[in-house]
Amino acid sequence: MMKKLDILYEDKEYIIVNKPAKMLTIRTEKEKENTLYHEVSTYVKKKYPKNKVFIVNRLDKDTSGIVVFAKNEVCKKFLQDHWNEITTRKYMAIVEGVMKGKNILKHYVKESKTLQMLVTDKEHGKLAITEYKSLKWNKSYSLLEIQIHTGRKHQIRLQLSTTGHPIVGDKKYGSNKNPLGRMALHAYYLKINLPKKEIICESPLPKEMQKMFPKIEKSEK
C-alpha cells in the first residue's frame, strides 16, 4: 500500500497524482485494493463520503508518473473525448544502448490475440506517433525525453523497441536487462488546456532512474 498519496494538483473537478512503479492504476481480478484508483477514491471519500472518482488516463503497472482522475462524469467525459487535442504528455525513458539525436516515430499498430501490440499496415492498424530526443547517454544506456501525439496502448514501448533500443526492464518488448527491478518509463509532464484554465503538472524523475547516469560521457540539449 502507498504510505501517502502523492497529489500533484487538486481542485473541485480534478485530482492529479503521481503513481509509483509496481502499482496498478485500476483493479483486476487478482488485485482489487492495492491500486491507485482505490487510494484516490479513499482519499476523496474521507472528505466527501458521497463523492466518486473517475479514471481519465492509465499507466502500465511498471510505469510511474502522472495519472488524472475526475471528480464527476462530465469532466471525465470531456477530458477523454478531447484528450489528444488539449493535452501535452511527456515521458522519460531509459533505453538499452547508445541512442543519440531526435526523431518522430510513426507506425500503424494493432493488438495481437496475446494482448501484445504489433506493428502492422494502415489497413489493419491505428496510427501511433511518438517523438523523442536523447538527453544523456553512456556506454550502455540512453535517457530519452518523449512526447506522445496519440494514445495507443504500449505505443512508447513498442515503437522504441522497433528502433532496436527497448526500454530497460521491458521484457515484453525485447529488453534483456533490468538493473532497476522495474521498467524505466516515467510520465513526468502533463499540460491540460481547459476552456477556462490551464493545468500543468510535473513529476521528478524517480531516484532509481536518476542513478542510472552517475557519470555522463556526453549530453545533448
All domains of the chain in start order, with CATH: 7-214 (3.30.2350.10)
3-state DSSP percent of the chain in helix, strand and coil, to 5:
20, 35, 45
Confidence (pTM): 0.91
pLDDT band at residue 50, thresholds of 50, 70 and 90? Answer: confident
Q: Which residue has the cell 471528480?
A: 71
Name residue 192's beta-bridge partners. Answer: 87, 199
Give the rounded percent of residues in the chain with a pLDDT score beyond 90: 84
Active-site annotation holds for 60: yes
Mean pLDDT, the chain, whole residue set = 92
Distance (Å, whole) CA 173 – CA 165: 10
214 has a pLDDT exceeding 90: no
Give the dihedral sign, CA 109/24/46/10. Answer: negative
User: Which of the following is catalytic: 6, 11, 60, 121?
Assistant: 60
